[in-house]
Amino acid sequence: MAGVTRPMSQMRKLETKEALFRARKRILKYLVLGYLKQEGFFHTAETFTAEAALTGDYEVCDNIDLDIILQDYCSYYLIRFNKQPQFCRKLEEQRPPRRPQTRKTRERTEPVVSAECVCEKGPDLPSTFTVTKLLKDEQSLQTIPAVERKSLSAFLNHATPDKKQLVELLYQDIIRPTGVSWDDVKGLTSAKSLLMESVVYPVRYPEVFTGLLEPWRGVLLHGPPGTGKTLLARAVAGESCCTFFNVSCSTIVNKWRGESEKIVKVLFEMASYYSPSIIFMDEVETLASDRSSPGEHEASRRLKAQLLTELDGIGGRDGIIFLLANSNMPWEIDPAMLRRLEKRIFIPLPDLKTREELFQNYLNVKNVELFPKVDFKELASKTEGYSGSDIKLVCKEALMSTVRKMLPSMSGKGNVPNRKDRLDLTDILTAIEKTKPVSKNLTRRHEEWQSEMGCS
């Protein structure tokens, strides 16, 4: 009866707390379910759905999963305590004598320890606890990026406070796998296979890529805007198990004299420590523009010289370091830098087949109903000269037009669950009319540059 005598405000607070607790439990279950599906444990996911009584009313949002949460927690922990958090303990070779089990406890624990999973009792855990070995062998260790395995504090040992600051700055530029895979990049087959042979295979089979077969040191992707250059780089980050340094001009260019050169030096040291590493420079012409251009500042010239020296030293450093550069204007890049970007690949506007795939990718989804049936090939033939990004905009504009029609009749703030947008051919054709391609005129110049300077 105590609850009845509680003031209303206190009751409400309790209810909110309880609701939050329930919501958290629900989120956890859906995250686990999402993870199981993502990893291909479909039977387990089915059993889990039934056991946890999950309904189809919710699903994990697009930009979140357990892996990302774990990585974020690791980064937070590292910055806060300067070490990696420990989640699992390595199991001892020699098992301690087990406590005698009664028949009752054995019955209770046995189903948990299946024959397939490597489960053992921890040395000083109560007999009802089970420690599951997450990593099965040394091989699995190789698939974890070095940045997760190696401690930053070991790298910072004996570093000066200045250097520590620069390391911290660069550490923020390391990006974790983004979930983008090769399949997300439509078309561009030759660029994908070249990146595989430059980054993915040398890391996987280092013994093959020695001597004359030494992996490429640098690759430049150039092409008109919106053709998927950055997306390709994100796929490399997701697929390669390398430490991915996403270096922007703002990180490296420092207003203090000499500081930029130091940043570049520390960048290559870190890349070597966390090897295999990819140093990614988007819009590389901003960092390595032609040094002979008029008005070139002395500090900027020194920064470029340092960059070139470090790139030359890549071969002599420990581990694999690979430079991936993107550019919209390759003709502005310094020739010495170009020489170090051994492969120069043209990323063209999407061809008919790729445009069809892109339309399919954006419109053939479960929350869009196409009525009457739309022929994606027809859409592709009407969008010659459009980049991947232009096609994305067309699809967005078409969807917006249907949402615009719906908006006045929508009431209240609540989101509409299981919403399905109805789209017909005229909506898409109007969107194509309205969206003009931005990159069409630039293609010729890139093609000319490729035939003169390219190497793919």
Chain contacts with ligand ATP (rule: CB under 6 A): 185-188, 225-231, 326, 328, 350, 358, 388-389, 392
The least CB distance from residue 310 to ligand ATP, in Å, is 24
Task: Give the total of residues touching Mg ion (CB under 5 A).
Answer: 2
What does the alpha-carbon distance between residue 126 and residue 287 come to, in Å, rounded to a whole number?
58
- What residues are paired with 316 via a beta bridge? none
Asked if the peptide bond before residue 225 counts as cis, ω within 30 degrees of 0, the response is no
Nearer to Mg ion, 187 or 215 (CB): 187
Alpha helices in 39-102 (DSSP H): 42-51, 66-81
Nearer to ligand ATP, 78 or 231 (CB): 231
Nearer to ligand ATP, 146 or 329 (CB): 329
Say which entry of Mg ion, ligand ATP, none residue 225 contacts (CB below 5 to 8 A, set by partner kind).
Answer: ligand ATP
Asked if the peptide bond before residue 276 counts as cis, ω within 30 degrees of 0, the response is yes
Nearer to ligand ATP, 30 or 386 (CB): 386
The least CB distance from residue 455 to Mg ion, in Å, is 21
Say which entry of Mg ion, ligand ATP, none residue 388 contacts (CB below 5 to 8 A, set by partner kind).
Answer: ligand ATP
- What residues are paired with 280 via a beta bridge? 246, 324
Terminal CA-CA length for the chain:
79
Question: Which residue in the shown chain puts its C-beta closest to ligand ATP?
Answer: 388
Say which entry of ligand ATP, Mg ion, none residue 96 contacts (CB below 5 to 8 A, set by partner kind).
Answer: none
Alpha helices in 285-374 (DSSP H): 298-312, 335-340, 352-363
Q: Is 84 an interacting residue with respect to Mg ion (CB under 5 A)?
A: no
Rounded to 5°, angle at Cα 92 from 88 and 93: 135
The least CB distance from residue 229 to Mg ion, in Å, is 5
The least CB distance from residue 394 to ligand ATP, in Å, is 11
Say which entry of Mg ion, ligand ATP, none residue 246 contacts (CB below 5 to 8 A, set by partner kind).
Answer: none
Sequence-ordered list of residues with C-beta below 8 angstroms from that of 229, at least 6 positions apart, any chain: 221, 222, 223, 326, 347
Nearer to ligand ATP, 261 or 356 (CB): 356
Q: Which of 437, 250, 232, 445 is nearest to 328 (CA)?
A: 445
What does the alpha-carbon distance between residue 52 and residue 210 come to, in Å, rounded to a whole number?
52
- Please state the separation of Cα 273 from the chain's center in Å: 21
Residue 64, both tokens:
């979140």
The least CB distance from residue 74 to ligand ATP, in Å, is 27
The least CB distance from residue 300 to Mg ion, in Å, is 22
Nearer to ligand ATP, 251 or 260 (CB): 251
For 219, phi and psi rounded to 5 degrees?
Answer: -130, 135
Extract the runs of DSSP E, i.e. beta strands, from 194-271: 218-222, 243-247
The least CB distance from residue 350 to ligand ATP, in Å, is 6
Question: Which residue in the shown chain puts its C-beta closest to Mg ion?
Answer: 230
The least CB distance from residue 126 to Mg ion, in Å, is 54
Say which entry of ligand ATP, Mg ion, none residue 270 contacts (CB below 5 to 8 A, set by partner kind).
Answer: none
Taking residues 230 to 269 in sequence order and writing x for each that binds Mg ion by CB under 5 A, - otherwise, the string is x---------------------------------------
Alpha helices in 382-422 (DSSP H): 388-406
Residue 337, both tokens:
């830098």
Nearer to ligand ATP, 24 or 353 (CB): 353
Nearer to ligand ATP, 215 or 388 (CB): 388
Sequence-ordered list of residues with C-beta below 8 angstroms from that of 26, at least 6 positions apart, any chain: 58
Nearer to ligand ATP, 127 or 248 (CB): 248
What does the alpha-carbon distance between residue 118 and residue 97 come to, in Å, rounded to a whole number?
18
The least CB distance from residue 87 to Mg ion, in Å, is 35
Cβ count within 10 A of residue 161 = 6
Nearer to ligand ATP, 275 or 328 (CB): 328
Check: CB of residue 237 under 8 Å from CB of residue 277: no
Q: Which residue has the tokens 């570093």?
A: 159
What does the alpha-carbon distance between residue 449 and residue 332 come to, in Å, rounded to a whole number?
11
The least CB distance from residue 200 to ligand ATP, in Å, is 18
Say which entry of ligand ATP, Mg ion, none residue 263 contacts (CB below 5 to 8 A, set by partner kind).
Answer: none
Question: What part of residues 277-296 is at the interface with Mg ion (CB under 5 A)?
Answer: none
Interface region with Mg ion, contact rule CB under 5 A, candidates 120-128, 222-230, 412-420, 439-447: 222-230
The residues of the shown chain that bind Mg ion, judged by CB under 5 A, are 229-230
